[in-house]
Structure 1
Amino acid sequence: MNGTNGKLYDSPDSALLPYPIILAATKGDPDAMKAVMQHFSGYIASLSLRKLYDERGNAYFGVDEDIRSRLQSKLMRAVLTFRAE
């Protein structure tokens, strides 16, 4: 990571993925796919938040791992079928 705070690229416009990374991810490049997954990890985690209960019945909010993994796999499938032309 070398002080990059977990980011694979450093861009002033960090809200967008660079086009070459998107293009490489659509062609199946594992490093580019990792960058796409990392870019959307916060959004996926927020979509996966659910009200969970512990063994004593106390409610808390946590990430539902099943939903998170399903969203990640759907994102990977969508990236691989995306045609950037």
Structure 2
Amino acid sequence: MTTTIGKTTDDERVLMLFSVIIAATKGEPQAMNIVVQHYAGYIAHLSMRKLRDERGNTYYGIDEDMRDRLRSKLMQAVLIFKI
């Protein structure tokens, strides 16, 4: 079940608009931002790592370098995508 909050839903499986995809492949910054935001949760999940603090405690956190690399790879893939 999905609930609507404003113009968005809490269901993460919502598809992006075709017009947004087309604009992102042409390099429009706002459309690219929408694409990156759409995949932000998945990118955060992929960049989770076991980290240790200075006292030796282990916890899970986001590896910022990995997240930045995944974000840039996504943008590169969108720009070379052919429709």
Shared fold per TM-score greater than 0.5: yes
Once residues 38 and 65 of structure 1 are traced to their aligned partners in structure 2, the CA distance between those partners, rounded to angstroms, is 16
Equivalent position of 2:14 in the other structure: 15
Point out the more displaced range, 56-65 or 14-23. 14-23
Q: Give the secondary-structure state (helix, strand or coil) at the position aligned to 1:44.
A: helix
1:36-75 correspondence runs (5 A): 36-75=35-74
The structural deviation recorded for 1:76 is: 0.3
C-alpha deviation, 1:11, in angstroms: 5.7
Aligned structure 1 segments of 4 or more residues deviating by more than 4 angstroms? 11-14
Residue-pair matches, total: 77
Which consecutive unaligned segments of at least 5 residues does structure 2 have? none
User: Following TM superposition, by how much is the alpha carbon of 1:68 offset from its aligned partner in structure 2, in angstroms?
Assistant: 0.3
Q: Select between 14-23 and 28-37 the one with higher mean Cα deviation.
A: 14-23
1:26 paired residue number: 25
Quote the sequence identity (%).
57
Could you tell me how far apart the structure 1 residues matched to 2:42 and 2:64 are? Answer: 14
User: Which residue identity is paired with 1:60?
Assistant: Y
1:59 partner letter:
T
SS of alignment partner, residue 56 of structure 2: coil
Q: In 2, Cα distance between the equivalents of 1:55 and 1:11?
A: 41
Gaps of 5+ in 1: 5-9
TM-score by length of 2: 0.85
Cα distance in 2 between the residues matched to 1:83 and 1:26: 8
**Residue in 2 that maps onto 1:78:** 77
Q: Could you tell me how far 1:15 is from its partner in structure 2? A: 1.7
